[in-house]
């Protein structure tokens, strides 16, 4: 007597009964950031991109569905470009946003090795927008604490270094920012943010 086909039929029926569940199947809900496409910007008009606007995932919990997660839109420097930031702070790669009326030392003095530096040019970024997602609540996109400042950058154009400033204009509905070019600081004169 062959028990192979009978055993196979019994196992197949048992698996079907274990697999069938009442109700409609639901997939776990995924909460995400929904970033717009990255965008690069040429600040000097030389055809070389200087800054990149892109999304960045922040902290999140590891449970499913996610209890809390954070999202950010950042403006980063691309190779050959640096931003002015505080030297020696805990987050030494975040650029410093200067307020209207702030005076920045002559940029030639900023990079002087003989002085104790408060600011220096760093390969950094600016956190422009923040928002959260998850089952414990969703917050809409908001400008970050430094997004309303003016930022100073330097970029190399062959042997020449060029300086400039920019500010950010938030587009909260689309979760992105637009870079607005500002006046160019002079190397040998203090610069007052307007």
Counting Cα atoms < 13 Å in the Cβ hemisphere of 102 gives 12
101: left (phi over 0), alpha (psi -120 to 50) or beta: left
Tell me the pLDDT of the chain (194 aa) as tens digits.
566 666 555 555 555 544 445 555 544 444 567 788 899 999 988 899 999 999 988 877 777 777 788 899 999 999 999 999 887 656 567 888 999 999 888 776 655 555 556 788 888 899 999 988 887 777 888 999 888 999 999 998 778 889 999 999 999 988 899 999 999 888 888 889 88
CB atoms within 10 A of CB 58: 14
**What is the value of pTM for the model shown?**
0.75
**What pLDDT sits at residue 30?**
46
Q: Establish how many alpha carbons lie within 13 A of residue 182's alpha carbon, considering only the half-sphere containing its beta carbon.
A: 20
Q: 186: number of CA atoms within 13 Å, CB side?
A: 4
How distant, in Å, are the alpha carbons of 70, 151, 182 from that of 168? 21, 9, 10
Lay out the sheet containing 160-171: strands in order across.
Answer: 119-122, 81-86, 151-157, 160-171, 176-181
C-alpha closest to that of 191 among 112, 120, 111, 107: 107
Give the separation between CA 110 and CA 44, rounded to whole angstroms: 21
């Amino acid at each position: 007597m062959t028990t192979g086909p009978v055993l196979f039929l019994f196992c197949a029926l048992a698996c079907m009964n274990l697999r069938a569940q009442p109700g409609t199947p639901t997939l776990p809900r995924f909460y995400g950031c929904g970033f717009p496409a990255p965008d690069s910007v040429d600040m000097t008009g030389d055809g070389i991109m200087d800054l990149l606007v892109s999304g960045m995932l922040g902290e999140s919990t590891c449970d499913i569905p996610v209890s809390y997660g954070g999202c950010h839109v950042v403006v980063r420097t691309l190779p050959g470009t640096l931003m002015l930031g505080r030297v020696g702070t805990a987050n030494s790669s975040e650029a410093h946003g200067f307020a209207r009326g702030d005076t920045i030392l002559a940029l030639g003095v900023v990079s002087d090795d003989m002085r104790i530096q408060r600011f220096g040019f760093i390969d950094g970024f600016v956190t422009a927008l923040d928002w959260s997602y998850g089952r414990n609540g969703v917050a809409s996109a908001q400008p970050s604490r430094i997004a309303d400042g003016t930022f100073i950058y330097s970029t190399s154009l062959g042997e020449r270094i060029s300086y400039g400033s920019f500010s950010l204009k938030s587009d909260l509905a689309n979760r992105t920012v637009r870079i607005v070019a500002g006046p160019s600081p002079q190397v040998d004169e203090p610069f007052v943010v307007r």
